[in-house]
Every structure is written in C-alpha cells, then in structure tokens.
Copies of this chain bind each other. A is one copy, B any other.
Amino acid sequence: MVTIKQIAELCGVSRGTVDRVINKRGKVKPEKEQLILETMRKLNYSPNPAGKALAARKKQPTVGVLIPSIGVHFFDDVISSMQNAARRYASYGLKIIWRSMRGFDEMEQCQLIDELAPQVQALIINPVNGQAVLERLNALAAEGLYIVTLNNDLPGLRRHCYIGTDFYSGGRTAGALLQMIGARELHIGILLGSHKMLSHQRRLEGFRSALEERFKKGAPGSWEILSVQETEDDDILAYEEIKTLLQEHPETNAIFVISSGASYGAARAVQAAGRAGSITMVVFDTIPSTIRMMQAGVIQAALYQHPHQQGRRAMQVAFEYLVNGAQPEKDSYIMRNEIRIPENAEE
C-alpha cells in the first residue's frame, strides 16, 4: 500500500504539503495540489487506519451511549454486544460513557443528552419520539457531534448513521409465517405496545399487507383480525387481555405479539386456558422467556432482529469515525428479520 511519504517523494514535495491537501487545510499552490491529487488517485492511496488510530489517541476519543433500556429485554443483547465491542476498542484508547433510563420520557432523555454532550464527540442513542429530542440532537449535530441512532430513526433528524430493522418487513414476515404455519381459517388476536409507537404501527401494517397478499394470491382459507390491544409492554396487562380475548372469542387460533414486552404474559394466558399448541403464537424477539415458551410448545416462532449485530455495528461505526476518521459505507444499516423456531433458537 502506498503511504503519504511515498506520495510526497513522487511529487517532490514534503509530507506536510501532502497532508494539507488530504485534509483540505489549504495553503498549497494550486498546481502542486493538482499534481498531488492526481498521483493519489493514480496510486489509489488510502490512509492506513493504524496510523490514524495511533494519532487519534491524543484527542481522547469518547462516545456516549444513551438507551432507554431499563426493563426492555430486547436491549439486553444489544447492550451486551456493545460492551463486548467497547472492550475491544478500549485497547485503542476509546472511552465510553454509558447512560440508561427507564421508560420513554422526552424531557428525561433531553436532560441526559445535555449531560453527555460536552463529554463526548459521538453519541449512540435510541431516540425517544418527540420534538424536544429532535431539536436538541439537531443542534448538537450542527455543532459537530457525531450521531448514531439505534432502532428508531426520527424523521427530520440529521443523524450520521442509523442502525435498526425494517419494521414493515418484520410485520410482513410475521404475517406470511402465520399464513404458512397457522390454521387455514385464521382468527387472530394482536397485542402491541402502544398505537403511538411508530415501529409497532408499521409492523402491524406489514403484517396485514402480507396476509392480504398471500390470500389474494390464492392461499387456501381465510383470515380475520379479532382485536388489536395495547399492552404498554406489560406482561400482566398482556396476560389479562389474552385471557379476556379467549373468553370472548373462543374461536381465536392465532396470536401475534408485536413487542417482546408482552409475549411472556400472552403465552402464560394461552397456557392457562389450556390452549397451548392449538393456538399458533408468533412473537417478536428471542428473549429468554420466549425461548422457554418455544421449547414448551406454547410459542411456535419468534422473529429475531439481530440485536447482537445491531450493538456491534453501532459501536463499530462510532469507533471508525472517531479513531480511524472513516465514514461508514452506508447511511443506514438495516438488519434482517429472521425466523426462529425451537430447532434453530437454542444457544
């Protein structure tokens, strides 16, 4: 690989001049600049990340992590992988400041953002929906903060990179799966966290679209949605709601749980009603309780959102920006929604 030094020698200038061209610091004669750019292009120069990393240490590169993860089991795996990556990157001199919170209060998140911002050059955040957060983050981005959003991409937010899944496609996959593994005449109960959560809404839309499409294309049978209930991601609420549903609609033979915070409660209600196995349950995320319920034959399938990859990738993007001075290849990294059944969910 070609180095700055070699470029400099070839162009008959000093290393410093080449560097000024590369980092656009000006104060270089136009004709020399042209020559340097040309030979760089010709020799396909690309900076050695190791050199950059070494030099970057002086800046004390620090990234802040802010996730409303308390009580949300989906984030457990995301965070464990982020910590893993953080350990590796620590040997390069990268520092991390961790902040978590419970619930989705906009003002609380703003406060934590303000606390982190002066200490870090990059921020990995699962942003709460809301105008205040949006404005706060956009202001900081304008001041030069590097922002990576995780699992929720606020419209209008000028973040540098987004990492998450395609909610609509996740819903479609769930719907198609239910058509494949469920009864011919589907009577479906649905639980979501809240109608206000954009991600849950999109999943529901995708779910409907896939079912509609498959039956329109000639899949035998029929489908109907009996109810769509909000659970606030609470297992007890979910338990009660499914209990009521099964009483009022004994014909229920399929349940779709859109967020992991309700799947255990729903599964327990199905079990309690003696309907385990005769009701097809499709849920999101393979948290430990879900895996147990799959092995027990209560939940038939779960959608896996690659939490580990999400965490690893988020850290990597922040690391490469701060330490290697590199932009990510893509503006957003969208993980696939995978299908897990007992046979391929085991650890």
Contacts and interface: CB of A to CB of B under 8 A. Distances in A.
Contacts of A49: 50, 53, 91-92
Given A173-B343, A343-B172, A344-B169, A300 B180 contact: yes
A131 interface: no
A341 B50 contact: no
Interface residue tally of chain A, by bracket? 35 or more
A68 interface: no
Interface string A302-336: 00000000000000000000010000000000001
Copies in the complex: 2
Residue among A90, A342, A343 with max Cβ neighbours from chain B (10 Å): A343
Contacts of A260: none
Contacts of A54: 48, 50-51, 54
Given A180-B181, A297-B217, A47 B91 contact: yes
Nearest to A170: B344
A177 interface: yes
Given A53-B50, A300-B180, A338 B338 contact: yes
Given A177-B343, A217-B297, 11 more contacts: A48-B91, A49-B91, A50-B54, A173-B344, A176-B341, A176-B342, A180-B341, A181-B181, A210-B343, A337-B344, A339-B341
Query: 10 closest pairs, A vs B, by CB?
Result: A50-B53, A339-B339, A176-B343, A173-B344, A46-B91, A180-B181, A172-B343, A50-B50, A50-B54, A173-B343
